[in-house]
Structure 1
């Protein structure tokens, strides 16, 4: 088995799985046995990306973000829908029956066969990691299986083949077992996420982890000499001094009666941070955050000269996604009636889905990391215009997007730059 090497910002998704019972099947295989090496055909220089998957991930991302905001609308929120989608795709390979359908509905996978989904995820991951020297992006997956439990061999092989997952058997009773998993997470998030598994209970049977690491330098960096402390309006009406970076130049820009928006490119421009500054307030703007509106807005950007002032900020965020995912229709996966029979003959359910992120934006560029932990437990044409001026001195929305595929790697609402 192998561990994918990481660079740049990182985003990890962990799915912790536990047995409902210790029952096994003669047809199941223990992962301690060597898995046959998968014969993966050589990838193309630029793998083609399935637009259906990107559309599904975008729709899922905005729906998930909307549910999270119901709980955390008054605080900084920053998530990686790509990381969550990849981790849950790995788990989806073990689902069956109504549980599989519920996950498909929540993740917007309707109309895609499992084979199409797996191939599409593999191509998307390969395509995203082919960026440029100024942008570091890599994606890695791992699967940690409890020693002594029989798992479906096909499930393990699918995750290794399509998700390039490291598959390892681990003695979960060993005191250092969680340290080994957390060590992998720390290594593959460049130290930004140090811990995702707090403890391993007797019910745990598996952890599946996805990690995306991203680090991008602006195509045109902000001059530190132009950064000044300026007042930033908080949601409660008070103001605080924050460092505002400033730069003049030509950017892809859009303005409507709802917002000002700018695309700040990294490296050769394939990836950008999109910043949306609402003209009224962030809460009202967030109600219009849908995949349909996003696609419309992406077509309205045009090159324009102007000035951008953007806060320098650094933050951590943590949220339990169980409630949000249940609201999206995946509730069955968290119940005793959950069917993950394609994973193991032992009955299992997802117990919790935790998501941790880190992001830092400064004059040089952006660094971000995310970890999602899913715990499964035992059940019982251009017009010349005047230069724009965009001063981001109040709560705003931002997203890091791959402009080639349309995939959104990160998205967040910043209400209080730290």
Structure 2
């Protein structure tokens, strides 16, 4: 029987710190470590600015648009599987799969390109655009913590294609470590990296290492931002929240009156809550009482999203928003298969650019965390990829009381990057 590889890619973790263990170079001789390209920070939008178009010449708008389209498709699939509290990081999943994409060839590469919406982008285009995007996101706002980290953990003695390792090191800044997978402490070492790179919000992605596993690919991101205008804790009070089954629960509701970026239609109300210098914002979409979250999902498309974003206008109003904390974990195999990427899980997978051994993806696992309170938001996510060897605005003040299931997203207004998106049907 041929050996089987398993990948693990950690989804967006909201804090990125260095690994506490010294890295053992997995790179073949002659391949030097190249730092991730840097991008000069772009100026933040003005205090009253609406979502701005991409103005950074280093950023490829094709990539950010691709991430958005992929993120909405993935979210739609997961909602069909589990219509409860849900939260994903499109950016983290896309980055993790982009690193894997460097090892794909033939029909497998084409299937991944279609699912990831990479049409028109070569592998080199993707890598360069990803490096620039990661760099600009990390420099988005000095008042917001936003960090990304990548790593590869390879089984000692297993052979990987030099170009695959070099591309991931050069363009994704991946830390490459050779590890004795037979050592019982190996999972703890990888999980320690995960915990550090998510500020302890996600502490475990690996339970044990199977003898057939040869590689773990990790992407982690950390986000922590305070609201530009924070909620006054003295205005927070217990209020009823409507649940999907028609019942109510008492829950802490934050309250703020002021001038917001606001948008409404016959189907929903929406508000933008900026962090720090306003480049990054949380968007909250509340379906009308005569509508539902399910109905809102039917119109949640990349095309509609691009139409909605420019429609937000400054408007006085009263906002009530529940405090909430949410953790989410899901295996993405089924959803990615539905998006046309199923070949990566089969013996027909072609990852010849990864290793001379025939390989296929065993599992793609995603974990996220978010906490929203009066001060701001903290969030984290981890994506795990396991591979096996195979074989309208009005002038009067608005009132928006978010007391029923709602959708939210955290977005970089300058590049349009969707860092997180989720739904709350029962706040915890």
In the superposition, the TM-score normalised over structure 2's length comes to 0.89
8 Å Cα contact 1:11-1:210 kept in structure 2: no
| Equivalent-residue separation in structure 2 for 1:193 and 1:139 (angstroms) | 14
CA deviations 1:256-296 (Å, max 9, x no partner) are: 00100000000010000000000111011111111101000
Distance 1:383 1:415, change over 3 A: closer
8 Å Cα contact 1:145-1:205 kept in structure 2: yes
Find 1:379's aligned residue among 383, 390, 399: 390
Find 1:54's aligned residue among 64, 67, 71: 64
- In the other structure, the counterpart of 1:410 is 420
- In the other structure, the counterpart of 2:20 is none
Find 2:165's aligned residue among 146, 156, 162: 156
Shift of 1:299: 1.3
Find 2:327's aligned residue among 313, 316, 319: 316
Find 1:190's aligned residue among 183, 199, 203: 199
Find 2:249's aligned residue among 234, 240, 243: 240
Aligned Cα RMSD in Å?
1.9
Shift of 1:40: 6.3
Distance 1:235 1:351, change over 3 A: same
8 Å Cα contact 1:8-1:367 kept in structure 2: no
Find 1:110's aligned residue among 119, 141, 145: 119
- Unaligned ranges ≥5, structure 2: 1-11, 18-24, 43-55
Distance 1:284 1:136, change over 3 A: same
1:394 equivalent in alignment to 2:404: yes
> SS at 1:174's partner residue?
coil
1:9 equivalent in alignment to 2:5: no
> SS at 1:63's partner residue?
helix
8 Å Cα contact 1:30-1:149 kept in structure 2: no
CA deviations 1:295-314 (Å, max 9, x no partner) are: 00101110001010000001
1:229 equivalent in alignment to 2:214: no
| Equivalent-residue separation in structure 2 for 1:310 and 1:365 (angstroms) | 12
Find 2:155's aligned residue among 135, 140, 146: 146
CA deviations 1:91-130 (Å, max 9, x no partner) are: 0000000000000000001110111100000000011111
Shift of 1:34: 7.0
Distance 1:8 1:39, change over 3 A: closer
Shift of 1:133: 3.4
Shift of 1:67: 0.3
- In the other structure, the counterpart of 1:347 is 358
CA deviations 1:189-222 (Å, max 9, x no partner) are: 0000000011111111111111110000000000
8 Å Cα contact 2:275-2:376 kept in structure 1: yes
Shift of 1:315: 1.2
> SS at 2:178's partner residue?
strand
Which structure 2 residues correspond to residues 210-359 of structure 1 after superposition, within 5 A? 210-279=219-288, 280-359=291-370
In the superposition, the TM-score normalised over structure 1's length comes to 0.91
1:37 equivalent in alignment to 2:33: yes
- In the other structure, the counterpart of 1:63 is 73
Shift of 1:399: 0.2
8 Å Cα contact 2:363-2:387 kept in structure 1: yes
Number of residue-to-residue matches in the alignment: 394
Shift of 1:336: 0.7
